[in-house]
Amino acid sequence: MPRIDDASPDAPASVTPAADSAPVRARARRRAVGLEARQRRKTMLRYTLLFVSAAFMVNALVGDNGLLATLKARRQYDALQRQINALREENQRSLNEMNRLKYDPGAIEDEARRDLGLIRPGETLVIIKDAQPAK
């Protein structure tokens, strides 16, 4: 087996003195440094993407148009819708009362008796006051 230190002209190229392997080692070192740099860049890119996506998630939850704002707006919408329905019902009752008073003479008479204290001729008005409790 030939030794590396033997520098014979017939020696294959792979069996060369140690001085020729310095550029090979330098290239290997550069490759290793390049691989480390690429790994660092990939790691930094991953952390950056993770941070950006986390920022987007936080904004989606609590931002101006986020999930929490949407839920709050939906609750307000439901409350206002209930209020509108209650006002519509009250409006319908008022319209029914108005039509009843406008076209039903018996309703007009009942209202006059109750609000104004009016009586018909021949009727006697009796007012009963509550007695003061004894002390």
> What's the average model confidence in pLDDT over 7-21?
55
pTM of the model: 0.47
What is 47-88 written as a DSSP string?
A: HHHHHHHHHHHHHHHHSTTSHHHHHHHHHHHHHHHHHHHHHH
pLDDT of 2 over the 80 cut: no
